[in-house]
Structure 1
Amino acid sequence: METKKKKIAKALKQYIPEEYIDYIISLMFAEQLSFRISKPRKTKAGDYRPPFGEKPHRISINGDLNPYAFLITTIHEFAHMHTFIKHGPYVKAHGKEWKNEFKSLLLPVLNQKSLPEPITQALARSLENLKASSCTDIHLARALKTYDKKNDKLELLENLANNQLFRLGKNTFQRGILKRRRYLCREVHTGKHYLVNRLAEVEPINEN
């Protein structure tokens, strides 16, 4: 068992800040669990699946997340697992039961006082009024994003001016008005409008 834990700890060093590895491993070994590092997914950063047949609890986390985002996303998914174990499958995915579990699992991380101050402040604020995830808590998402690897060609959509053109994937858009957490953007070639996350990384097009 100890040899297995050491192997997992060694593998996790490239994904999670080292001071939190023991805590995450303790959560892993508390239940029968399959924990997997996933290829990047556009629609989600992590995923939890309950036991089915002979399959144990399953958690997968995107391997391209920065260490702090990986840590928080992992705890997010463990909160889903704990909620399932304690309350079964018939509670809301991010209802009060999940929120209580998420808060409980985050407190040891905060109490260790090893996180960067901007993330600590954002998490403390988040715990006052928990959102479904770091992706819907704009302050926490912004704090976590500052630790992503930088690409000089990319800029956050919220930092562009209204009507400025930008590339996202293979398409060219024009930024419009902000609607809650997303900008209404027009795809230049088709004229269709799409809601794009304000923290999306896009390539600005500077018109001469």
Structure 2
Amino acid sequence: MIKKLAKYLPENAVEYVDEIITEHPLEIKIVNERSTKHGDFKRTTNRRFQITINNNLNQYQFLLTLIHEIAHFVTFKQNNRVKPHGIEWKRNFQHLMLPFINPTIYPENILPLLANYLKNPKASTGSDVSLTYALKQFDENSEKSFIFEIACGSNFIFKNKIYKKGNLRRTRFECIELSSKRTYLFNQNAEIDKL
């Protein structure tokens, strides 16, 4: 398993990941990009456990997503039925990530953002705008932009529809889909195509 995963991980993380997946064996599948998630954890129809992770993630996002999903597996084994991103999962995720908060694995500029995120991790790393933006800098040839990078009033494309960026509400931008004139809320770090 580790041979399959090694090419997606930072080199100095491979040994730690091997230890974790040896201790917590489960099926890990690398899949094509999904726009709604980086990875997931589920119980398959044959009652086995499986993690899927998108193949387009950079090595740092891949590692974070992998450990996020393994934490779900560990939490399920310990507690069976608990909130998916409740306190039990948070503790397991923090514990599993600890060896990786290391300058030989993550770049120096990501470490403080990652440490801050792990104080109270959310269901998605995307909820932390600063961390998402820092991780995105390591993507290869990304043609996407973040919505927060474009000016208010600018038009952009998201899922083949054209929107006009509006004002920031508390944590999301109010945007109008131009053909229907309906208003939608976009996370600050939604990835969009500029017009």
TM-score, normalization: structure 2? 0.90
Work out the number of aligned pairs and report it.
195
Shift of 1:111: 4.2
1:3 corresponds to: none
1:158 corresponds to: 148
Residues 46 and 62 of structure 1 are in contact (CA less than 8 Å); yes or no, is this contact kept in structure 2? Answer: yes
Write the distance in 2 (CA, Å) between the matches of 1:106 and 1:178.
Answer: 32
Letter in 2 for 1:42: S
1:132 corresponds to: 123
Higher mean alpha-carbon deviation, 66-75 vs 125-134, is at 125-134
Shift of 1:130: 2.5
Report 1 or 2 for greater relative contact order, CA contacts < 8 Å, sequence distance ≥ 6. Answer: 2
1:109 corresponds to: 100
Shift of 1:112: 6.3
Mark the runs of 5 or more structure 1 residues left unpaired by the alignment.
1-7
Mark the runs of 5 or more structure 2 residues left unpaired by the alignment.
none
Q: 1:17 aligns with which of 10, 14, 26?
A: 10
Q: 2:22 aligns with which of 12, 17, 29?
A: 29
What are the equivalent positions in structure 2 for 1:33-44 lying under 5 Å apart?
A: 33-44=26-37
Shift of 1:25: 2.2
Identity, % of aligned pairs?
36
Distance 1:112 1:160, change over 3 A: closer
- Asked if 1:201 is matched to 2:191, the reply is yes
What are the equivalent positions in structure 2 for 1:58-137 lying under 5 Å apart?
A: 58-89=50-81, 91-111=82-102, 113-137=104-128
Q: 1:49 aligns with which of 36, 42, 47?
A: 42
Distance 1:203 1:97, change over 3 A: same
Aligned Cα RMSD in Å?
A: 1.9
Write the distance in 2 (CA, Å) between the matches of 1:24 and 1:147.
Answer: 20
